[in-house]
Amino acid sequence: MHFLKPKRRLYEQFAKIGKALASPSRLELLEILAQGERTVEALAKEASFSVALASHHLQVLREARLVDARKDGLFVRCRLAGDDVEELARLIGRLGERHMAEVDDIVRKYFTSPDGLEPVKREELIERARAGTVLVLDVRPTEEYRAGHLPGAVSIPLAELTRRVGELPRDKEIVAYCRGPYCVLAFQAVEILRTRRRKARRLEEGFPEWRASGLPIETTEVSR
């Protein structure tokens, strides 16, 4: 019986993780941090939060040991505490799709190609990229691209795509990717490209899933 009290204390600590994850805003921040280290200000901008609100959510995640932070001059830079945090966030999504009808309905309604074209699977992209028959397009913000991207991927953030679409070839299919299976940037990119007569599809997964599978990635040094 003397083990009951330590066991309850142990579960109280585990419950802190569940409490930290019980917020759609914090799950969104974890999705962004899965792309790489970011400042609090950058996270707030990407998630459309105030800096104060982003700081609050990050503090909760830090208290649950899901996020680490470090000072960088006048800024605080945050990152996931480990690869297992990224895997936990993916697991939540998989559990939701398998066991919650509401999640399955949302995924089918909003995260399936509206024109019926199947997304490109990882294996197909690898084969076609080697053959040179496809252009891989990263539509995430530049900072995320620099932190890590698919080999040979071209970076055009979604906000710049309409203006820069002329830089992309007409004789290759374009495969766009972004932050993961629930990221809408790639969906929007494909829509823009098709309205401008480019053959385009999206990658079934995103950068974090590619990296987690052990496939090679590239980074881009920032000139100073």
Q: Which residue has the higher pLDDT, 110 or 2?
A: 110
Position 117 scores a pLDDT of 64
Q: How far apart are CA 132 and CA 129, in angstroms?
A: 5
Q: How far apart are CA 199 and CA 115, in angstroms?
A: 13
Q: In what order do the strands lie in the sheet with 75-80?
A: 38-39, 75-80, 67-72
For the chain, the straight-line distance linking the first and the last C-alpha, in angstroms and rounded, comes to 62
| Alpha carbon distances (Å) from 74 to 33, 77, 104, 223 | 20, 10, 43, 20
Task: At 33, give phi and psi (nearest 5°).
Answer: -70, -20
Q: Which domains, ranges and CATH numbers included, belong to the chain? A: 4-86 (1.10.10.10), 113-212 (3.40.250.10)
What pTM does this model have? Answer: 0.85
Check if the beta carbon of residue 136 is closer than 8 Å to that of residue 156: no
What is the tens place of the pLDDT at every residue in 81-135? 999 999 999 999 999 989 999 988 887 777 776 555 678 999 999 999 999 999 9
What is the tens place of the pLDDT at every residue in 28-63? 999 999 999 999 999 999 999 999 999 999 999 999
Q: Extract the tokens encoding 157.
A: 């953030």
Catalogue the active-site residues: 178
Position 1 scores a pLDDT of 52
